[in-house]
Amino acid sequence: MTLKNDHYTYRVTWSQDDNEYVGLCTEFPSLSWLGKTPEAVLKGIRRVVADVVKDMQDNGESIPEPIACRQYSGKFMVRVPPEVHRNLAIKAAEFGVSLNRLASSKLSQ
């Protein structure tokens, strides 16, 4: 089975421990699929997710919303030690930018 409008976030990577590729789905962190080729692994993990979503629907469970479909405000709070806050404020001043702009730049790297 395949999902119609599958917008989940998938990743295929090499697993040295398994000596195979592993497929993962961010929205379903407990699921994985192993295989010999990246293409087969992507197909396999998508099929597993589709089966799990169908099972969840059949049981009336809430289904995770795909990350790609979520709305984000662009705001979140990060707590850092006072020394880090001070050092970032100094760097921002030296670069002539706001602390917010400096933090955003560092986070996006």
Structurally, how many domains does the chain consist of? Answer: 2
Phi (first) and psi of residue 24, to 5 degrees:
-130, 155
Question: How much is the pLDDT for 109?
Answer: 82
Question: How much is the pLDDT for 5?
Answer: 80
Does residue 18 lie in a domain region? yes
Q: Is the dihedral of CA 82, 88, 92, 94 positive or negative?
A: positive
Query: What's the pTM value of the predicted model, to 2 decimals?
Result: 0.73
Same domain, 48 and 77: no
Question: How much is the pLDDT for 43?
Answer: 97
**H/E element holding 6?**
none
Under DSSP, is residue 62 helix (H, G, I), strand (E, B) or coil? coil
Does residue 92 lie in a domain region? yes
Does residue 4 lie in a domain region? no
Q: State which residues of the chain have pLDDT below 70.
A: none
Contacts of 98 (CB under 8 A, 6+ apart): 92
Contacts of 12 (CB under 8 A, 6+ apart): 21, 22, 23, 24, 38, 41, 42, 45
Question: How much is the pLDDT for 3?
Answer: 79
